[in-house]
Amino acid sequence: MTRSTAADAGLTGPGAADDIAVPGPGAVRRGGRYRRRRKLRKGTELTILLGPGLVLFLGFVLAPIAIGAYYSLYNWDGLGPLTNFTGLHNYKIAFNDPAFVSAIEHTLILTGLSLAIQGPIALGIALLLNRKFPGRTAMRLVIFAPYVLPPAVTAVMWSLLLQPGGLVDQVMKAAGLGGLVQLWLANLHIVLYSVFAVLTWQYLGFGIILLLAGLQGIPAELKEAAAIDGATAWQTTRQITLPLLGPTIRIWVFITVIGSLQVFDVIWLMTQGGPAGASDSMATYMYRTGFQNEAFSYGTAIAIIMFLFCFAFALVYQRFALRRDTRGALTRAVG
């Protein structure tokens, strides 16, 4: 059968799981006690499946976060007794601090750049790497390797490479681009973008791997079917691969936005958000003015604000983007 898109064909695609629980043609409906037993069984299964994860999560993640959030309503340095209740005072201070406002701007810039630049690059590379060619395994290893490096080392390494007269400068001069050399980390206007370049270097591999995993889930038969029907590689990509990769891309976007809103390690270790806060993200601002200064409550208030940013995005994204992945029919037969 020929269809213009795989989705139209109703072929395998992420679809609502809502129908799965309905018993198929094989099961015979029985009444009362059977249904109760099934309910009990389902309850038991759910407890086994969800229980341990939920307990671990509530115990080690939500409980500390809730307690931490409670501290933000006080003026506390982490040492003395918790006595100075100040309510939303910390939040007011934060939004009145121009350093924090520019930290927010920087974070949003980094997020936007990550989506606009890392996305297409990761997608392109993943598509290219999805076919067999000699050295593919080595390529994959090399691409993933930066992600494995601890941020501390990435920071030290790139600080050395980006210093005045360092390797980056030398390579540019050798390539005849000497006129474009800047003080990568000392120039207030450029440092944020230098940091972005390093972040891309470190995290691109993660995106590529995620997209590769998604590509693996696309059956080869679809592409073959399309090719038999006369589609070019580009058409196949555009109309079959990309839509089927949709859910994975949407997950990548979600993770990237959340990750960018919280970016900390590399920036802190490379520039401490400097010079003079020119490369501050919300998280580095939080760490410096909150935890390093032992203004613990203030730091936690900033963290709550960061959470609200992430939460707002997650809500909107869930509603408009991820919701698509829960709609759509799930067919029970192929071809």
Partner 1 sequence: MHRKRVVLGVAVAAAAATVLAACSSSGGSSSTSTNSSTAKVTLSWWNNANTQPLLGVFQNVIKQFEAAHPNVTIQNVPMQNELFKTKITPALRGNAPPDIYQQWGSGQQATQVQSGKVADISSEVSSWISSLGTPATEWQTNGKWYGVPYDLHVVGFWYRKDLFQQAGITAAPTTIPQLESDDAKLRAHGIQPIGLGSKDGWPDAFWWEYFAIRECSQSTITSAMSSVNLSAACFTKASADLDAFVKTNPFQTGFLATPAQSVPNSSVGMLANGKVAMELQGDWEPAAGSGLTSDKNFDDQLGWFPFPAVPGGAGDPKAVLGGGDGYSCTTAAAEPACAQFLQFLTTPAVEKQIIGAGAGLPANPAANGDLSVPAEKDAAAANSAAPYIAEYFDTALPTTPGQNLDNAVAKWFASPDASGSGITSSVTTP
Partner 2 sequence: MMTAITAATPARARGGRRRSSNWTIMPATYLVSIVILGLTVVPLLYVFLDGAKSTAQISANSTALPNPWVWSNYGQILSSAAFWEFLGNSALIAAVATGLAVGLGSMAAFALSRYVFRGREAIYTLFICGLLFPLQIAALPLFLQLQLMGLLDNQFGVALPEAAFSLPITILILRPFMRAIPGDLEDAAMVDGASRLRFFAQILLPMCKPALVTVGLLAFVTSWNQFLLPLLVFSTQSHFTLPLGVSTFQSTYSSNTAVVLAFTALAAVPALAAFLWGQRYLVAGASGAVKG
Q: Which of residues 83-142 bind partner 2 (CB under 8 A)?
A: 124-125, 128-129, 131, 133, 135, 137, 139-142
Exposed, middle or buried, 31 (CB in 10 Å: 0-12/13-18/19+)? Answer: exposed
Nearest residue (CB) to partner 2, 103 versus 188: 103
Query: Restricting to residues 275-314, which ones interact with partner 1 according to CB under 8 A?
Result: 275-278, 288-289, 292-295
How many residues make contact with partner 1 (CB under 8 A)?
Answer: 32
> CA nearest 202: which of 113, 118, 285, 258?
118
> CA nearest 192: which of 259, 276, 121?
276
> CA nearest 233: which of 223, 243, 242?
223
User: Which positions from 146 to 185 touch partner 1 by CB under 8 A, shown as an x/- string?
Assistant: ----------x--xx--xx-x----------------xxx
Q: Using the rule CB under 8 A, is 329 a contact of partner 2?
A: no
Residue 84 contact, options partner 2, partner 1, none, Cβ 5-8 Å cut-off depending on partner type: none
> CA nearest 233: which of 243, 224, 246, 245?
224
Separation of alpha carbons 299 and 288, rounded Å:
8
Q: Read off the amino acid at residue 251.
A: I
Q: Return the residue of 23, 43, 52, 178 that touches partner 1, per CB under 8 A.
A: 52
172 is written with which tokens? 């540019």
Minimum gap (Å) between residue 118 Cβ and partner 1: 24
Those residues whose C-beta lies under 8 Å from the C-beta of residue 231, and which sit 6 or more positions away, are 239, 240
Classify the C-alpha dihedral 155-160-165-169 as positive or negative. Answer: negative
Phi, psi at 207, each rounded to 5°: -60, -40
Residue 68 contact, options partner 2, partner 1, none, Cβ 5-8 Å cut-off depending on partner type: partner 2
Residue 283 contact, options partner 2, partner 1, none, Cβ 5-8 Å cut-off depending on partner type: partner 2
Nearest residue (CB) to partner 1, 183 versus 231: 183
Helix axes 191-216, 98-113, angle to 10 degrees: 40
Residue 27 contact, options partner 2, partner 1, none, Cβ 5-8 Å cut-off depending on partner type: partner 2
Q: Using the rule CB under 8 A, is 8 a contact of partner 2?
A: no
Phi, psi at 164, each rounded to 5°: -55, 125
Q: Using the rule CB under 8 A, is 25 a contact of partner 2?
A: yes
CA distances from 16 to 26, 217, 250, 328, 330 (A): 21, 17, 16, 6, 7
Minimum gap (Å) between residue 106 Cβ and partner 2: 16
Question: What DSSP string describes 305-331?
Answer: HHHHHHHHHHHHHHHHTGGGGG-S---
Q: Using the rule CB under 8 A, is 23 a contact of partner 2?
A: yes
Query: Restricting to residues 90-119, which ones interact with partner 1 according to CB under 8 A?
Result: 93
Query: Restricting to residues 206-225, which ones interact with partner 1 according to CB under 8 A?
Result: none
Nearest residue (CB) to partner 1, 130 versus 159: 159
Q: Using the rule CB under 8 A, is 275 a contact of partner 2?
A: no
Query: Restricting to residues 146-205, which ones interact with partner 2 according to CB under 8 A?
Result: 146-153, 156-158, 160-161, 163, 166-167, 170, 201, 205
Q: Using the rule CB under 8 A, is 233 a contact of partner 2?
A: yes
Q: Using the rule CB under 8 A, is 271 a contact of partner 1?
A: yes
Q: Return the residue of 34, 85, 95, 311 that touches partner 2, per CB under 8 A.
A: 311
- The DSSP bridge partners found for residue 135 are none
Long-range contacts of 45-48 (CB under 8 A, 24+ apart): none
Interacting residues with partner 1 (CB under 8 A)? 52, 77-80, 89, 93, 156, 159-160, 163-164, 166, 183-186, 188, 191, 271-272, 274-278, 288-289, 292-295
